[in-house]
Structure 1
């Protein structure tokens, strides 16, 4: 049985940032304004790639085994998500977004939060950040909208390792 997913259900800015943990103290929250209008993109911050997910203020989670971020568009619950992700991983329908260089420890949180606010989120309930560890390497960020059943729809962004 898989562990329950941790969903972030708060974003006033309608965007989430996947920030390298060591850069959190210098993040002001204003950096992601240039990423407006995109559902998934990346920006450079102090020489590092920061993945930005958004476009709509949807709940988001990280599925580590699949290297997938999922945003809940519509569903009664998330029971169909993991089977839907497993099916999607074999699909050739993914849309290429951007190539990024990632590796290490990250936090996924509201892109509009500043570093001081982010550092205070570790024990907030409901959660406002998810800790993510990503193996070092180059990745192709890809997007896909899935409908694992007639009542469920999720936006997926996956990190596809590049040779």
Structure 2
């Protein structure tokens, strides 16, 4: 896993080759990932079909961000995970997010109950053994969220996957 950081840049999380997962902080210790001979949790994450889906973890559900190991960040001002599929630079990718949101054709929708803050990391890692450099902590108010996903090419040579969270009952969307 790599966390790309530069002055003023967002933080990106990468995987070793499988999906990334967003686990409620309260359920982290229940996520076993691919720990030794026990790969059950990781295998369940790998079975998620599409750009996003849910798997059980402890008393909660975790959000799996597709099977593609794309570098991923979270933009809290847009309530959106941005997955870097193709772009010449981070700046070009991030500059295209608003156009991508405006042109997105949302393909998949899931409803996710979130008990509070969540953590983004490589699904292969056990939740109890995470290093701060390997995770991105995201503050989410407890509640029910509609999760929608789309892959967009808003400008030439720039493709990203968007996974957006919309608080149920909220009329606010970044479209």
Structure 1: which 5+ runs fail to align?
Answer: none
- Describe the shift of the 1:78–1:159 C-alpha distance in structure 2 as closer, same or farther (beyond 3 A): same
Q: How many residues align?
A: 155
- Cα distance in 2 between the residues matched to 1:59 and 1:67: 17
Larger strand share, 1 or 2: 1
Conserved 8 A contact 2:100-2:153: no
Which of 26, 31, 45 is the matching residue for 2:41?
Answer: 31
Which of 118, 140, 151 is the matching residue for 1:134?
Answer: 140
Once the two structures are TM-superposed, the CA of residue 147 in structure 1 deviates from its matched residue by 1.6
- Cα distance in 1 between the residues matched to 2:107 and 2:42: 22
> What's the TM-score, normalizing by structure 1?
0.84
Runs of 4+ in 1 over 6 A off after TM superposition: none
For the aligned residues, what is the CA RMSD?
2.0
2:15 maps to 1:5: no
Structure 2: which 5+ runs fail to align?
Answer: 1-6, 34-39, 170-175
- Cα distance in 2 between the residues matched to 1:5 and 1:69: 12
> What's the TM-score, normalizing by structure 2?
0.79
